[in-house]
Chains A and B, each alone.
Chain A
Amino acid sequence: MHPLRPETLQGSWEHFPHGADIGIRGIGPTKEAAFEGAALALTAVLTDPAAVIPSQEVLLTCHAPDDELLLVDWLNALVYEMATRRMLFGRFEVHIDGHSLQAAAWGEPVEVSRHRPAVEVKGATYTELSVKQDEQGRWIAQCIVDV
């Protein structure tokens, strides 16, 4: 298994409200950590990310003309992998070079009785979409996902 990023460089995540759907937000010391946090927030829409056993690795690559579209592409690539492999992911490692992203996601097949997935994500949207640094220098990557 791939070694984890040092704790000081790991991202955190949270959800924020939206009228009909759910806002997901990744927060971290680097853009990569914020993207990883956003991916955890995506999984948390369905189930507790800590309950997902990271036993299988899936590699992903995305390209987009700017950071914001790259975030949406990254999240939608995960939505696609979750849907077609019928998997959930609980760990991520992201590398960003310009507007290209390479990542590994670790997870396992959905087990309804254990994961009790709440809702499937249809796609990441451009609503409330932003990738930026706040006043404390933390990277914030967020958008609304349609469920």
Chain B
Amino acid sequence: MDLTLLKRRGPNEWHIPPRGKMRVPGVIYATEGLIRDMDEKVYEQVTNVATLPGIVQASYAMPDAHWGYGFPIGGVAAFDPDVGGVVSAGGVGFDISCGVRALRTGLTVPDLQTVKEQLAEALFHRIPAGVGSTGKVHLDRHEMEAMLAGGARWAVGKGYGTHEDLEFIEEHGCMDGAKPDCVSDFAKKRQQDEMGTLGSGNHYLEVQQVVQVFDAEVATIFGFREGDIVVSIHCGSRGLGHQIGTEFLKRMAVSAARYHIDLPDRELASAPINSEVGQDYLGAMRAAINCALANRQIVTHLVRQTFADLLPQATLSLLYDVSHNTCKVEEHVLNGTPTRLFVHRKGATRAFGPGHPDIPPALRAVGQPVLIGGTMGTASYVLVGTEESMSLAFGSACHGAGRSMSRHQALRQWHGRDVVKELETRGILIRSPSMRGVAEEAPGAYKDVNEVVDAADDANLARKVARLEPLICVKG
């Protein structure tokens, strides 16, 4: 990105002053190096979002921002319904409520040594992953409605996990305001055999070791220390969310003119929050959030079964579950006044600071866990929300490493088998139904996750707690 387009306001804070139809400034949080490597399209997309009706404060991009569709991936924007604010299907994306959950295991690295290979195979066989895979749970019409209304709470009621899990999931595992009636029969049909599946692309299941703790006090409250084994699951609302995104994108693109919304890019398809289309979308999108929460809950159950078979001494307890593609109603202080806003996070993680009432009581004193998924060859991070983040970007932080290279380029540069072999020599076991998929997801196709996380930490969006490195990675 051309630095002359930006005004630097701090070591990791860059502003785009409002011009043309922009209603608010753009703000990008990143190091100079990350900014230089960012696609010009991120600049264009941040400024386009700033033109949407009812946007408040600024159009934000996180340190992992990259060229998305409509919004940048790593984009955050909040809208006030009382001043004509919109909700955007493009601002949430196709993979509604895609997110990461992390589980403690009670194990340390030596516990894994003799069964690592077996565990990799067992996880790969038990958790459906990749194109065309189906889960063992088939939902009839009645169960589909119950799942869409109940989320992870529904899943726990069906025997997938424990009530204690719900405490450590955003929204306590069940998103209020879901309207299963607003979800089309097409979307429901697409989901009926996909519960408890990982999907493909950048989704994964990893067994990781905690290699470095940066904040021992917070790590103790989060319940882990160096050498511990953690399981991370990255997946979303599967076909149901994709179909809802597809259908509402069209409905909003077609209806935008009727609502006098001037879209600089059709992908920003939006509707007023206080409109029939807007309300229908919110009802369907919240049902998709429940689908994603239920999906991760079922995958968790399958992981627990697998560990119980091979490592019966393991106790898998939920550290936290975050969604990074959502629009949620939150109260934020705007010009000194608490205001109810619709906060879109597209490839960005909620990162509420200490004391926030939405954080589970056991963690509230230190802040919300922020789970950052890295690549299969580098590292993931656990961060914690900060007080400052609440005013910097509505309590938001990055969500991953962020791609630096297209899938197209990655395929020309790497062969999947070579990637798997190279990682095996470093003690990382990769299991995937598709070697091409592995090549597209090669660690080198991503930004340096360490630099992204350091930028988020330096900008006070969230504070580093621990670095996790993969031992086993199941890719879809």
A residues near B, CB below 8 A? 15-23, 46, 64-65, 68-69, 72-73, 76, 79-80, 83-84, 86, 110, 112, 116-120, 122-127, 129, 144, 146-147
Contacts and interface: CB of A to CB of B under 8 A. Distances in A.
B95 A122 contact: yes
A83 B190 contact: yes
Most chain B beta carbons < 10 A, residue from A72, A122, A125: A122
Given A19-B41, A19-B68, A146-B69, A129 B266 contact: yes
Nearest to B436: A118
B346 to A, nearest CB: 11
Given A112-B132, A116-B434, A16 B67 contact: no
B437 A118 contact: yes
Interface string B373-389: 00000000000000000
Interface of B: 39, 41, 66-70, 73, 90, 93-95, 130-132, 134, 186, 189-190, 199-201, 239, 242-243, 245-246, 249-250, 253-254, 265-267, 269, 403, 406-409, 433-437, 440, 476
A124 B249 CA distance: 10
Contacts of B433: 112, 116-117
Contacts of B130: 112, 117, 120
Contact of B201 (A65, A76, A84, A119): A119
Contacts of B90: 126
A90 B265 CA distance: 32
Given A18-B408, A120-B200, A122-B242, 13 more contacts: A17-B409, A19-B67, A86-B132, A110-B131, A117-B131, A117-B132, A118-B131, A118-B434, A119-B200, A120-B132, A123-B242, A127-B68, A129-B266
Given A112-B132, A118-B440, A18 B406 contact: yes
A84 B407 contact: no
Contact of A17 (B253, B265, B406): B406
Contacts of B403: 19-20
B69 A144 contact: yes
Nearest to B192: A84
A118 B406 CA distance: 15
A144 B266 CA distance: 13
Given A112-B131, A112-B433, A122-B245, A20 B440 contact: no
A22 B407 CA distance: 7
B94 A123 contact: yes
